[in-house]
Amino acid sequence: MVHYEGYDANKDFKEEWALSNPSNNQPIKWRGKFLSYDHTNLEFREWWIQRGLDMLAHDEIDGIFIDAICKISNAALVSIKGEAWVEQHGEAYLATAKQLRERLPPGKILIGNVLRSAITDGNYRNLQYLDGSYLENWADPQHLVMSIQLMKKALNEGYLIMLNADMSYTDFGGIDSLDARYDLLNQPEFIDFPLGCFLLVVEPHAYFSYHSGVDANPSKLDVFDNNRFEAITRKLGKPLGDYADEGGGGFSREFEHLKVHVNMTLQQGTLSVTDRPTSTLVGNSSSVPTLSPTEPTQTCIQTSENSGRLNPYECPCLAPGCVSVEPRCCSNKCRITMRNVSFCID
């Protein structure tokens, strides 16, 4: 929906493809500077699809990320173009995205900035052509519970979830050492709430990014290496069930080695390390197998005794939504096929 300038892929873009305001015939610009796409224009739609496919021709590129999908039905657009036009444009965008999905090369994935709890139905219908959703602006107290529900629903249906915990608003108080900034954001008062929200719903194919920026230049002092956060790298063990709504904005979930409590009203989280013997685990308590890089294990096709479905915690090769598992592992990773896309995971 948003035309970000400065990329080589834009070299053939025609400004006549941008949305214009019917009252003055001037381009509609997001934040007053970015052009907005018009997906009712068939010539533009073909250009948009082909730009993505051109990038996927490179072996190094695993997939496409579609940003700003939530702007399809943005209130500002409704006020300018009218509700009927915006609905028509939403259908045109959906048709464009489905065409991209149909033409996607085998083995490539399609992720979008799509789920947004402040939108009617969370914009869930636009997940249908994607392999998963990146989430930002999810922590508004008014909509936080719905954000959690949307993530859980998507994960249960086999989609990927990529939760963005952006801490760029943090006041570092003149801290000019990158190590010291990592130490600050490693404190429970910063990390426990966003990570706790994520852990309430975490399943295989859920990913968490905790950062204050994404510039790898050390002089920028951006914190983004999640391997440096103890709370993220500590061992969880198996989940002992789904999250529990305790009322009053409180939610909790227990794992073999961790108890999570989040108060969504106060936006506070507590992650408490616990020790539980294996015998106390719910359901099948067999240990997670160690996978050989060349030989599969029969545990990979085992079903959970208490659910009758494939249990992702019996073997990292499996996850909800998997339709097949190749009988081999590659480079210490398991190759899976999820939602008809085959790729390797740790």
The string of pLDDT tens digits covering residues 195-211 is 999 999 999 999 999 99
pLDDT: is 298 or 9 the higher one?
9
Q: What pLDDT, on the 0 to 100 scale, is given for residue 280?
A: 30
CA distance 7 to 94: 24
Give the domain range for residue 137. 2-234
pLDDT at 285 over 70: no
Q: 283: which 2 tokens?
A: 């359901």
Instruction: Answer left, alpha or beta for residue 33, where phi above 0 means left and psi between -120 and 50 means alpha.
Output: alpha
pLDDT at residue 137, as a whole number: 87
Specify whether 212 is located in the same domain as 331: no
Number of domains in the chain: 2
Which DSSP string do the residues of 246-298 spell out, in sequence order?
A: EETTEEEEEBSSEEEEEETTTTEEEEEE----GGG-SS--PPPPPPPSS---G
- Both 205 and 329 in a single domain? no
Q: Helix 178-185 crosses helix 188-201 at what angle (to 10 degrees)?
A: 60
Alpha carbon distance 237, 281 (integer Å): 10
Phi (first) and psi of residue 121, to 5 degrees = 65, 10
In the chain the beta strands, taken as DSSP E runs, fall at 2-3, 29-30, 34-36, 63-66, 109-113, 132-135, 160-166, 206-211, 244-247, 250-254, 258-263, 268-273, 322-330, 333-338, 341-345
Q: What are the residues whose beta carbons fall under 8 Å from the beta carbon of 289, sequence distance 6 or more?
A: 297, 299, 314, 315
pLDDT per residue over 287-321, tens digit each? 333 223 333 333 232 233 333 333 333 334 444 43
In a domain, 248, yes or no: no
> Among residues 206, 234, 262, which one ends one of the domains?
234
Q: Would you say residue 169 lies in a domain?
A: yes
Cα distances (Å, whole numbers) of residue 333 to 29, 43, 207, 312, 345: 44, 42, 17, 15, 5
The total number of residues written for the chain in this structure = 346
pLDDT of residue 243: 96
**196 and 329 share one domain:** no
Residue 333 lies in a domain: yes
Kindly state whether residues 120 and 218 are assigned to the same domain. Answer: yes
Please check whether residue 306 lies inside any domain of the structure. yes
Which amino acid would we find at residue 16? E
Last residue of one domain, picked from the residues 234, 249, 273 = 234
